[in-house]
A and B are shown apart, each in its own frame.
Chain A
Amino acid sequence: MKLTIGYFYADLLNLYGDNGNVEILTARARSRGFDVAVCHIDQSTALTPELMQSINLVFMGGGPDSGQKLMYEDLINNKGSYLKDYINRGGVGLYVCGSYQLLGHYYKSADGSNLQGLGAFDLFTRHFGNKKPRCIGNVVATLCEQILADPVFKSVNKIGDTLVGFENHGGRTYLNKTLTPFAKVITGHGNNSEDGTEGVFYKNSIGTYFHGPILARNPHIADFLIAKALNEDTLKELDDGLILSAHIASKNLKQ
């Protein structure tokens, strides 16, 4: 089996070491003997149904405002319908920060202007300007029941039911009640610093505010994505002693 990662806008959406997620997915899949190809998708890529069919894992990160301005039109006009279709078909994907926001209905800026999103996730994001501080700091959260109960996750999970990372976002995201948050915040802000939710888990897609990059100290999520993408029930266990101890140590970091 071959893992083909569709890496969207690597050059423009590349804040906070998020490219590390692709590096980690690649390394962990290769350690199990799988072939890995990283398919870069940017403004110059002409997406086709065949190309999207060949991808079994999508990664998209967050970027500085300048980067997001450059890719926004292309995402909405040229890539959006493919991506939305991929997500709805149950395509496996990880969307961090800026891209997580863009997959919602809209992003409302402090000045009241609205940036239309893809509407793949039933959520919206608001930025309150100077009225509310940025959500910055170390985060610890408990994974949602849906993931914890998933047989594939149960089989690859050697870490536990927690998620650790770092967040840094000005926008605050609000999920429709019918949607499942990815995790529940123990310490930190999560989606909006109000309702204790963090990210979204929809079909086989994960939207999240976790940097770190998220997969560095959360190998259970990395393996869950790989196994799902490759339709495997389980994966060969790797020597993750060091990562487990970093994961545990992260729970005691100052926020």
Chain B
Amino acid sequence: MFYIILYLTKIFNLLIKTLRMGAGYTWPGHVALTLYPTLFSSTKLRFPKGIVFISGTNGKTTTAKLLTHFLNANGLKVTHNKTGANLVNGIASAILLDMNWRGNLTSDACVFEIDEFTLPFILQKFCPDFLLLLNLSRDQLDRYGEVDIIFDRWQDAFSHLPQKTVVLADSDQELFKQLGGNVIYFNSDSALLKKTRLHGTFNAKNVNAAFKVAKLLNLDLAKVEQSLTTFEVAYGRGELIKYGEQRFQVFLAKNPASFNHNLDIITAGNVVPEALLFVLNDNIPDGRDVSWIYDIDAKKLYEACKDKTIFVSGTRAQDMAIRLKYAGVSVDTANIFTNLKNALTRIPQLEVVVLPNYSAMLEVRKLLLGRSIL
């Protein structure tokens, strides 16, 4: 049975990629787990250097990519859900796709970013050596519920973790102070951040968190530091996309915390765009409720928009434009496009920063790069 699902997953993934139907990380895993539900407890899941899980509301993809980069810089092979498919299916796919045709893993370590809601489910079946907790803030209340509820579920799951699991957590997070047991707390490190192409306080923490795990994994830290300069940002997370003469820099802004953080990066002058494009969708992966845009700091919104031409798009473009208006930002009605393609083709400015929520980010990439994910 194991080999059947292994081959099915690989073929399924190839088909999806060939037919350009997506990154091929979600459905193959779904099929695999349906046919072979004990995958996560299989003895084939061996990573001699260590198993690392990364969870939290914001920064998962960037931090997981950083740590993978550090491991690679040390000559180690890593199994990593790099497409950001961070539910049970995505993790199953990442594992199966990294196996050779004999069903063996050749990776030294694995680094998985895991959705904060899914984390307790995964921990029931699959235990990490290192569990890195970045932050918890409001995100998709209509799907996930309040932050307290997620944290209670985490606490429940963590109480069953074996001794060997080392937990690392952000020291600024009030909730994380309630974590029992041995927790290694981390904070930001701006010296490390400066060596990368990343910006902002969140990333100063992400870099430091990944660095701390690298240290615990006994990596050669000189090589790790050296590799910071060659780190390429994760897709849609500060990614620069050249499109003809234009340069679009895309900063995923999917909840109030990540939105405010990105606005800070703009206001601080880390990026200097002539135009800002806000894209707000209400598709299933985004949550249907867009009320959270009023939790974005109005002053930050105003400051970041100052002296820039503002464009708004997405299925809920009008709602976003109204939010901007109430923050004191003037939006020309002619610059509001429900259709994203129209918005992208009508922007004359050469330097553009795009602030999309999740499905909007994928659409922006699809239109500018021809592919949504990798």
Q: Chain A residues in contact with chain B, CB under 8 A?
A: 14-20, 23-24, 27, 64-66, 136-138, 166, 168, 211-213, 216-217, 241-243, 245-246, 249, 253-254
When chains A and B are docked, how far (Å) is the Cα of A17 from the Cα of B295?
Answer: 5
Known: A15-B141, A216-B319. A138 touches B288 (CB 8 A): yes
Across-interface contacts of A241 in B (CB, < 8 A): 333
7 closest Cβ contacts across the A-B interface? A20-B294, A17-B294, A246-B318, A17-B291, A64-B146, A16-B291, A211-B291
Min CB distance, B167 to chain A, in Å? 22
Q: List 22 A-B contacts (CB under 8 A).
A: A16-B292, A17-B292, A17-B294, A18-B291, A18-B294, A20-B291, A20-B295, A20-B323, A23-B326, A27-B326, A137-B288, A166-B288, A166-B291, A212-B291, A216-B322, A216-B323, A242-B321, A242-B322, A242-B325, A243-B322, A246-B319, A246-B322
For the complex, give the distance between the alpha carbons of A249 and B280 in Å. 15
B239 within 8 A of A: no
Measured CA separation A153–B324 after assembly (Å): 26
Report the Cα distance A245→B317, complex, angstroms: 11
Interface centre among A14, A16, A19, A24 (most CB of B within 10 A): A16
B residues less than 8 Å from A64 (CB atoms): 146-148
Q: How far is the CB of B333 from chain A (nearest CB, A)?
A: 7
- Residue count of chain B within 8 Å CB distance of chain A: 26
CA distance A23 to B288 in the complex (A): 22
- Does A16 contact B289, Cβ atoms closer than 8 Å? yes
Contacts of B127 in A (CB 8 A): none
Q: Which residues of A contact B264 (CB under 8 A)?
A: none
Within 8 Å by CB of B294, from A168, A216, A245, A246, lies A216
Tell me, in angstroms, the Cα distance from A216 to B146 when the chains sit together: 22
| CA distance in complex: A216, B298 (Å) | 14
* Chain A residues with CB under 8 A of B327: 23
In Å, the complex CA distance between A112 and B147 comes to 25
B292-315 Cβ-contact flags toward A at 8 Å (1 or 0): 111100100000000000000000
Cα distance, A14 to B137, chains bound together (Å): 13
Whole-angstrom distance between the Cβ of B119 and the nearest chain A Cβ:
20
Chain B contacts for A136, CB-based, 8 A: 142, 289
Complex Cα distance, B141 from A82, in Å, reads: 32
- Chain A residues within 8 Å of B298, by CB: 23
Q: Given the complex of chains A and B, what is the CA–CA distance between A203 and B321 in angstroms? A: 34
CB atoms of A20 and B326 under 8 A apart:
yes
